[in-house]
Amino acid sequence: MTTLRQRMIEDMRIRNFATTTQRSYVHYVAEFAKYFRRSPDQLDLEAVRQYQLYLTQERKLSPQSINTFVSAVQFLFLVTLEMPWVKEDFPRARVPEKLPVVPSPEEVQAFFDHVNGLENRVVLLTCYGSGLRISEAISLKLSDVDSKRMLIRVEHGKGGKDRYTMLSPTLLCILRAYFRIRRPGPWLFPSPWDSQNHVSPTTVQTACHEAWKRSGIGKRVTPHVLRHSFATHMLENGVDSRVIQALLGHTRIDTTARYTAVSSATIGKTVSPLDRLWKPAKPKATKRNPRKP
């Protein structure tokens, strides 16, 4: 390991970056250096620009992936190398705003009818029942389930933030039945090969994909779609968006507000200004002749 890489990793650890973020940043910086066959500390902003064009035009990476590269080299140059540049010197790709395609409650139920494996089923039910990310669900410990307060504690969620989300009575019953069968610990969903580690996200994602295929549902179902479904269905049931924001762990309310755009109940109940301007006349009731049947 080079001194520069070690220094960058230490800088990320000091700032308590998630392990996955550290690996991602190191990967993108290493590929950046490999492309130019030079150490990153010998490259400049023009090299960053050329590499962005390469990723866009030749590798055809998604805007999200390109922006992850930008975040990685920005951290390297501004924090680790302490270059006299600013964030504006690292332009980002525009990410198209796409609304999540959310299955209906009936479609979600049909999906769960095809999930194989007790652990897989309970993990996915937890994602849908409490709005958890797959990484948050598989990382739950027994101590994170607070049945007295009906809460689930999410430790080190996205951005390293802790939060509480809801524990529904139905999910509590499911978790208790699961516990009586499996007797897990300390992880709620331990790995089948090593009880000291939690189950792999890939295992659950594969089971989710296979269940979706078997269900025949047209809308794609993934663990993250179940999280989207949790938020959308809560909104359709009249839960305030601020509450949903707290349950999901969103920092900004506009991130949560996008679920309003996919909520059929919210859209369908909205009054058009045309309805306020003009209302169709009600048909007049006709008087019946009492002599006629």
What amino acid positions are annotated as catalytic residues?
133, 158, 224, 227, 250, 259
Q: How far apart are CA 230 and CA 131, in angstroms?
A: 5
Q: How far apart are CA 98 and CA 235, in angstroms?
A: 19
Exposed/middle/buried for residue 60 (C-beta within 10 Å: 0-12, 13-18, 19+): exposed
Query: CB-based contacts of 46: which residues, under 8 Å, 6+ apart?
Result: none
Give the dihedral of Cα atoms 212, 216, 221, 226; nearest 10 deg: -100
Give the dihedral of Cα atoms 188, 167, 126, 227; nearest 10 deg: -140
Phi/psi at 138 (5° precision): -70, -15
Q: How far apart are CA 252 and CA 267, in angstroms?
A: 22
Considering only CA atoms, which of 238, 235, 239 is closest in space to residue 258? 235
